[in-house]
Structure 1
Amino acid sequence: MGCGIIKSSYECAACILRQVKEVIDLSCSDEKLKFELMSDCINIMAKDFRDSQPNGLATVVNQYVKEKTGCEDPYSKQKEVSSEIALSLMPKVKEILKADDGLETYVKAAIVGNILDFGAYDVNTDFKALITNNLNENLSINDIEEFENALNSHDEVLYLVDNAGEIVFDRLLIEKMKEYDVNVVVAVISSPIVNDACMKEAVDAGLDELAYIITMGCDSGGIVEEMFSDDFRKVFDESRFIVSKGMANYEGLTEMDLDGKDVFSLLCSKCSPISRNLAIEVGSFVLKKL
């Protein structure tokens, strides 16, 4: 079971507005338009904030900015930098995996990649140092036995990726999972939002060499059930084993009926609301069966 449905806390407003300011700055240079966009986003949030779900509300205001500015991919440069950072760290990560090639080590490698998140951090964050300092972090929630049992019990897994750059680390875990004779289906968003991975980033990372890649039919930040395409809804409903990366996907999954599914959330907790929900410290690594 999960830890309860996640609704927006008072802290979520400040976090979403910080991220909105960043996407506005990256999307346009017209100061008048910037003011209008921020004013509109504040009004959208004020209307829906009380009963909102964090990643759903963040998705709505990001989609609004994209529609009004016509800037399809404001984080394109940041996504390229994320991939460069991830690739530069691969030698260190592979040294760790060479010393211990157990499943848990690969899980931790995938989770450390979840630090590469411009939604949670700002564009000036030293991600390389942050990841390097956490390469040997242990799991605060560790459902590794259940995870390995699921790998031994199913012949297919739906893998919900999160951020560009991060998926370079996901590739390592997917390679390890395939040793359990499971087919892997990777789900990406259909068009850009913040620095989340789309089809291009997944292919660039070589995930198409290991898995069948599909899109969710939307540009949501993490799982937002009402935005699924019909095709993705069918895949999701029929999937009995799901691996979910990141906080936004975790938030969305807590809203859904997951009965009968083996669902595992892999994330680095980067905010207080998620950390409170999971009863862990900010910065903790999590492998949790929902």
Structure 2
Amino acid sequence: MKVNYECASCMLRQSREAIEHAVDDDEKRMDVTLDVLTFIEKNFKKNTRSNKLGTDLHHLIMKKTGNNDPYKVLREEGNSVAEKLIPSIEEMIQKNPTLENYVKAAVAGNIIDFGALDQTTDMETLIKKQINKPFIINDLDKLDSALTKANTILYLVDNGGEIVFDKLLVKKIKEDYNVEIILAVKEGPILNDALMQDAENLELYKYATLITTGAASVGIVEDYISIEMTNLLNSVDLIISKGMGNFEGLTEMTIEKPVFFLLSTKCNVISNEIGVPLGSSVVIKKNLN
């Protein structure tokens, strides 16, 4: 996806928050802010890929502040919020353990996104509200059919915290479908995205082969991911993609296999791109070849 005029103000907000998390000294914050403004002035142009630009911006902040993981505390907080909610969500799902309800839980977890939302957002309240929403676009029947026929799938996780909800869906898929699951996390810190340690702590290796994308990027950025990841995108039978960053990146690529996007639309640009109201839960099948 290409940048929209609204992306500029969002990137400035994200930059301020990242800088504040990365360093305490106001003089240093000012210096890095000036670097950010120079970067945006030089690089924010029409037809620029949004998540590649966001990735480069966050790496600039990490380099200039000397802090390679500004969102570490928020990622851990996201995991804590999710783990507190899991018992009540599992109880709710068990009353009607359909694929749809497991997907609803996974999409509700996508709310835990300190890149798209203000850092003061009450995530717990939002998640409880989101999980009861119907899907505005619902391609679950297509997902069920594709899973039934598939031998291998690639599951692209998104945020810390959210990955706790992903575990519920991954386990469901493993138990109900005869499929090999490859689950990919980020190679290194970027925003509050899930890392290998998060996946290992949740023992996701019991249900999936754990790998990284080969990059610390906002979603999938074609220029930065590993050769292994590029090959997987075109060799597995289907891809399940969580979150907006992966949507931004994958829709800029040519991919031979069907992609199922599971996300909550947390910004106007993504909402308009998909054609749904802000705050919508969606399950969308796209062919990107």
Which of residues 49, 52, 58 is equivalent to 1:53?
49
User: How far 1:275 moved relative to its partner?
Assistant: 0.6
Answering whether residue 142 of structure 2 is matched by residue 146 of structure 1, we say: yes
Name the aligned partner's letter for residue 11 of structure 2: I
Which of residues 171, 181, 185 is equivalent to 2:167?
171
Deviations 1:231-262 (A, max 9, x none): 22222232231000000100101101123x12
User: How far 1:176 moved relative to its partner?
Assistant: 1.1
Query: For residues 12 and 274 of structure 1, what CA distance do their matches in structure 2 show?
Result: 10
Answer with 132-141 or 227-236: which moved more.
Answer: 227-236
Query: For residues 129 and 282 of structure 2, what CA distance do their matches in structure 1 show?
Result: 17
Which of residues 245, 253, 262 is equivalent to 1:248?
245
Q: Which residue of 2 aligns with 1:9?
A: 4
Deviations 1:84-117 (A, max 9, x none): 1101111221122111111111111100000000
Query: SS in structure 2 opposite 1:226?
Result: coil
Q: Which residue of 1 aligns with 2:13?
A: 18
Q: Which residue of 2 aligns with 1:182?
A: 179
Query: For residues 206 and 34 of structure 2, what CA distance do their matches in structure 1 show?
Result: 45
Mark the runs of 5 or more structure 1 residues left unpaired by the alignment.
Answer: 1-5
Give the % identical residues. 41
Q: Which residue of 1 aligns with 2:199?
A: 202
Q: Which residue of 1 aligns with 2:89?
A: 93
1:1-290 matched pairs, under 5 angstroms = 6-50=1-45, 51-178=47-174, 179-259=176-256, 261-290=257-286
Count of residues paired in the alignment: 284
Query: For residues 237 and 129 of structure 2, what CA distance do their matches in structure 1 show?
Result: 35
Name the aligned partner's letter for residue 39 of structure 1: L
TM-score if structure 2 supplies the norm length?
Answer: 0.95
Query: SS in structure 2 opposite 1:220?
Result: coil
TM-score if structure 1 supplies the norm length?
Answer: 0.95
Query: SS in structure 2 opposite 1:141?
Result: strand
Mark the runs of 5 or more structure 2 residues left unpaired by the alignment.
Answer: none
After superposing on structure 2, the runs of 4+ consecutive aligned residues of structure 1 that deviate more than 4 Å are none
Name the aligned partner's letter for residue 192 of structure 1: P
User: How far 1:42 moved relative to its partner?
Assistant: 1.8
